[in-house]
Amino acid sequence: MDYRYIFENNKSISMKSTSIAIIISLSLFSITTFAQNKLISVDKLINNIDPAWPLVQKWIDAAKNKVEVLPVDSAKAKEVLYNSQMTTYATLGSVIYNTGGIMVDNGWIRILGSGSERLNRNIAEWNKDKTIKEYGDNVPYLLIADDAVGGFFAINYGGLGKDIKNVYYLEPNSLTWQPLGAGYGEFLIFCFDSDLSKFYKGLRWNSWNQFISNLDGSKTYSFRPYLWEEGTDIEKCTRKLVPTEDMYRFNIMKSKELNVDKGIKKDDSKQ
């Protein structure tokens, strides 16, 4: 499925074009810092003059979808900011530094921050041994969020395509990385403002909202038959909760098997 039209046609995004222009410029510094092997001190990563968080907070306050900002532990936030090498001048760094994560649509989408009780994963540790071996390594893509049905969102740093710093979605019904045609800031606005039922058409069963509100952020649903099997109807699937860690590794493994002959660029880092 080509998801890009959803972003292109979303009015809430087009109305905020000025903010998005700012986001793109803010993202450039983060891309550079994460790619460096020499780690930058946390004091230099914290921008107290012009942080991006007030802008992100405005988006959250005006969100059409239910958005829950998880509590942050300041000491942990500094640690994660340092390990991820993101600056608070950028939207991604501001989310890491100011949140324990963000839950959207009662927790259907889990946007990673510095970790909290409900979302006991932080963006730095989550990527280690998946997209990087050590903090400061060059990263092919950066995992930034996931959802309740085993889909994963990542910022492309060259490992997924030529469109550097755009967000991709590893869709559970094809196990291919799909470009969304949007950067991280646009991705946040999309999560906050868009009709997610359109994005997740065919991936939500009728009573999904009865199961999500108390869902542990470290778990996701697994389905049988698999969602990527031809002719699968999610309404007829059996489902069970599995660790998100296991789901990611399984999906990456199966993605390589299923798409080996399709010319899709894959991450060669340690899985």
Domain residue limits, the chain: 4-201+211-258
For residues 266 and 20, give the distance between their C-alpha atoms in angstroms, rounded to a whole number: 29
Q: What is the pLDDT of residue 3?
A: 58
Measuring CA to CA, how many Å separate 82 from each of 19, 40, 45, 87, 100?
26, 7, 7, 9, 15
Q: For residue range 111-170, what is the model confidence (pLDDT) as tens digits?
A: 999 999 999 999 999 999 999 999 999 999 999 999 999 999 999 999 999 999 999 999
The answer to whether the pTM exceeds 0.85 is: yes
- Residues pairing with 189 in the sheet: none
Q: For residue range 32-74, what is the model confidence (pLDDT) as tens digits?
A: 444 445 899 999 999 999 999 999 999 999 999 999 999 999 9
Q: What is the pLDDT of residue 23?
A: 45
With respect to CATH, is domain 4-201+211-258 assigned 3.40.50.450?
Answer: no
Q: What are phi and psi of 141, to 5 degrees?
A: -160, 155
Q: What is the pLDDT of residue 28?
A: 41
Beta carbons of 144 and 92 less than 8 angstroms apart? yes
